[in-house]
A and B are shown apart, each in its own frame.
Chain A
Amino acid sequence: MRESLRRLALAAVPALAALAPTAQAAPVKIAILETLSGPQASSGQAFRAGVRFAIDRMNAAGGWNGEPVQVLEYDNQGGPAGASDKLKAAIADGVHIVVQGASSAIGGQITEDVRKHNLRNPGREIVYINVGAEAMELTGEKCNFHHFRFTANAQVRTKALVGAMKQAGTLGTKVYAINQNYSWGQDMERAIVDHAGFGGYTVVEKTLHDTNKIQDFAPYISKIAASGADTVITGNWSNDLLLMMKASKAAGLKVRFGTVFLDQPGNVANAGETAIGHFIAHAFNPEAGGADGARFVDEFKAKTGHVPVFVEPQAVFGLEMVAAALKATRPVNGALVVNQFAKALEGTKLKTSMGDMSVRAADHQVLMPMVVSVVTKDAKFKADGTDMGFKPVKVLTAEEAATPVQASCKMQRPD
């Protein structure tokens, strides 16, 4: 018995040696470094659903270099400290690409950590695919070659929102800016002030408040009423948006809301009829997507059981661009050279049901079409099982939606 085992082992050695060249062909590893637990887990899980969907599609089409792309999940527990820890774990596991979206605070940490890692470990670079962190600094002071943002930002969202609301004749001349007090909310406030000339309004008052900590928005609503505003523009998400809608309904406040995240599941159902007439600037609306959009919706629904909403479409589009860039990158000794992939990604173009997408090489901000929609009862796709939904009022092409490169972005490119 023992003898036969030894013989077997001896026989295995040449067999293993013969396998060696193919064993070297390392599969591409993508890390999803998301908020998968804690209070904001619902946002993180939405990003994960979109990313997973796109990667499954990529693998169904053959993966990369004849092998399926591997996905590893890491839970950043909703904070920059957790994200930093888990990024180290991901790097130790040999990932090439890190994907994250929920929270600009976490995004800011990851992009800095990735930049430092790449400086210290030439030849073992990683790329950060940002599918949702929209603070300006990520393509401004913190911009770096290995960060790509596949979502809009505060300036883009505000420009689209203001333009469409003005065109629809519902913007008014007095705007109230209420936002969360961290990088994203502060950027939204600045963007709302910056677009005052473009929208022909005055900002009657600006409020920054604690992020997702406030239970009672009634005091804020009475402040908005006292200001006499026609429209409230806000970048609030999660509870901060929901509670504000509910409080404004309870007080009978008659203003329009221009929002960024009203399509987060649960918002429309909870706000009820209050939501009617409010606007949102988002990356995808199935009603505006025509036949291609319907096909995407059907495929997504078949896989996940629901229509793509909230941040899911932008995550899918982002990862589809990653897939296209991977396809264009040839393996070197069977492995992925991350810098070559990053350069390929800079030149990648994608046609989605909304229009053409591309990456701007100067700051790695994606140029993507935006849709501005309004909540009505005659929308084709209903939200949250209610009789209301988002009806597109304006589709902006990538060029129309784009805002200029920030002067603060000084990107160091590898040779």
Chain B
Amino acid sequence: MDTIVFALLNGLIHGLLLFMVSAGLTLVFGMMGVLNFAHASFYMLGAYFAYTLQGLVGFAAAVVLAALLAGGVGVAVERWFLRRVHHHGHAHELLLTFGLSFIIAETIKLFFGNHPVDYRVPKSLDFAAFAIGELQYPFYRLLMGGVALAMFVALWLLLTRTRVGIVVRAAIYRPRMAEALGHNVQFVFMGVFGVGAALAGLAGAVAGAFYTTNPNMALEIGVMVFVIVVVGGLGSLGGAMAASLLIGVVTSLAVGVDRSAADLLALVGAREWAQGIGGLLTLKVSSLAATIPFALMLLILLVRPRGLMGEKN
């Protein structure tokens, strides 16, 4: 029982973290129709900014500043890079962000080296929130989850309850009409891109301390974030949330399942046969945990290509 509670909690929090990164990606896609390959790079930038700044201004201020800086880089990328290639079409935008992700990763290596840097949870936040059985549950994980939830609520309110939100949504769905009504759509695009980058930066600053801060972190989380955006439905914030939680919980639970397809076949008395065949049939579910999200994506693409909550096909 303890194990299941733990697994659920772990999965939920990891899912919330994944949501923090995918929120920006799905917003930018909804707005500009382009998958931003450099999005996870902002996550990495956030972590490195916070690592560099924490010695100067303290942890909390470093996290906030890192998010703002990552957002600033995002704004600059939109203003001086993406806008220039916009009229060439989506393929060029895609290639541009793809190249950008490499440049950011190599720049990081140039300044900080190839190994993980020593960015850790500060002592004042490094304690157990509660214990179940023998295991403690770290307070910092709850904090990460809390930050993600606060972010989700704030974004949701901003988009659905404020004038800014109305303008942004208008610019996303009918850019020409919004422009005709006197709104600066280019500015809105830049703003949304910047906010998306800042959110990823915030996630990086918070998670980099708990996991690791290394030049590969963009690559590690990037793939999973794409899976989430596809599963949740491109452009849907609610979908991204649902998909993040789903993937977080499923992966976490799968680790605890030491069963294989052979055990399932045993119900119809075919265990011997399955074990004779070997291969996939005797592979434990737990050893496939990190692969399950991809299988899920495949399934979604087959039966519901627009994703869980997507509106576009």
**Which A residues are closer than 8 A to B by beta carbons?**
39, 41-42, 45, 181, 207-210, 212-216, 218-223, 225-226, 239, 242-243, 246, 250-254, 264-266, 269-270, 272, 384-385
Q: Beyond the given A215-B224, A250-B136, could you list 10 further A-B residue pairs with CB under 8 A, ordered by the A residue number?
A: A42-B114, A215-B211, A218-B252, A220-B255, A221-B135, A223-B256, A225-B134, A242-B212, A254-B134, A266-B116
Q: Give the distance to chain A from B44, nearest Cβ to Cβ, in Å.
A: 12
Interface presence of B162 (CB below 8 A): no
Q: A208-B287, A266-B214 are in contact. Are A251 and B118 (CB under 8 A)?
A: no
CA distance A390 to B133 in the complex (A): 33
CB <8 Å contact, A219 and B255: yes
**Which B residues are closer than 8 A to A by beta carbons?**
2-3, 6-7, 10-11, 14, 114-118, 120, 128, 131, 133-138, 140-141, 210-212, 214, 216, 219-221, 224, 248, 251-253, 255-256, 284, 286-291
Q: Give the distance to chain B from A293, nearest Cβ to Cβ, in Å.
A: 24
CA distance A16 to B131 in the complex (A): 82
Residues of B within 8 A of A207 (CB): 286-287
Checking A210, A219, A265 against B256 with a beta-carbon cut-off of 8 angstroms, the contacting residue is: A219
CA distance A243 to B210 in the complex (A): 9
CA distance A266 to B11 in the complex (A): 27
**Top-8 shortest CB links A-B:** A252-B136, A219-B255, A210-B290, A42-B114, A266-B116, A266-B115, A250-B138, A269-B118
Residues of A within 8 A of B219 (CB): 39
Checking B140, B141, B214, B289 against A210 with a beta-carbon cut-off of 8 angstroms, the contacting residue is: B289
Residues of B within 8 A of A210 (CB): 287-291
Q: A210-B291, A266-B116 are in contact. Are A246 and B212 (CB under 8 A)?
A: yes
CB <8 Å contact, B140 and A214: no
Candidate in A207, A209, A218 with the most chain B CB atoms within 10 angstroms: A218
Q: Give the distance to chain A from B218, nearest Cβ to Cβ, in Å.
A: 10
CB <8 Å contact, B117 and A266: yes
Q: Give the distance to chain B from A205, nearest Cβ to Cβ, in Å.
A: 8
A-B contact pairs, 16 of them (CB 8 A): A39-B219, A39-B220, A210-B287, A210-B291, A216-B14, A218-B10, A220-B255, A221-B135, A222-B256, A223-B3, A225-B134, A239-B212, A239-B214, A250-B140, A250-B141, A385-B118
Residues of A within 8 A of B141 (CB): 218, 250
CA distance A225 to B3 in the complex (A): 9
CA distance A214 to B131 in the complex (A): 24
CA distance A9 to B220 in the complex (A): 60
CB <8 Å contact, B210 and A246: yes
CB <8 Å contact, A222 and B220: no
Residues of B within 8 A of A208 (CB): 284, 287
Candidate in B7, B220, B284 with the most chain A CB atoms within 10 angstroms: B220
